[in-house]
Homo-oligomer: A and B are copies of this chain.
Amino acid sequence: MTNYLNVTNGTMPKTFSPPPGQDWSVLSRTCPSRTSLARIANKWTAMVITVLADGPQRFGDLRTALDGISGKVLTETLRDLERDGMLIRTAYAEIPPRVEYELTPLGRTLIEPLAVLVRWAEQHIPEVLAARDAYDDR
């Protein structure tokens, strides 16, 4: 198996460039990729991006589609994704306000990887539930 993670690399320079001959690794505490991993490996991120895969959506649409998310958390999630270049926020100067969110090309590269996780969660419910019951019974 390919060693994507450079498991043997324990140190990291203070400046933000990879060590010579090595790539960044999320396993290094100070690597910027760890922040990115934390952002994309996140349930709300996965849900937002998968919903936005169908095209631009308004704030209220997202809030309805994501059944149970609070306005505050949705706002924060969207702002973080916008900041990291994964979506664009477009506010129209209308009353009542209208704001649309749309994936960028960078954001679209996450659709399929995150859809895989979503499908995994949906398809392995019986196995996970069974394992959980077995664990709790002992």
Contacts and interface: CB of A to CB of B under 8 A. Distances in A.
A130 interface: yes
A58 B51 CA distance: 39
Main secondary structure of the interface of A (DSSP, over half): helix
A33 B54 CA distance: 21
A23 B131 contact: no
Interface string A15-28: 01000000111111
Interface in A114-138: 114-122, 124-125, 127-132, 134-136
A37 interface: yes
Contacts of A34: 43, 121
Given A54-B7, A125-B36, A131 B118 contact: no
Contact of A106 (B26, B67, B106, B124): B124
A71 interface: no
A85 interface: yes
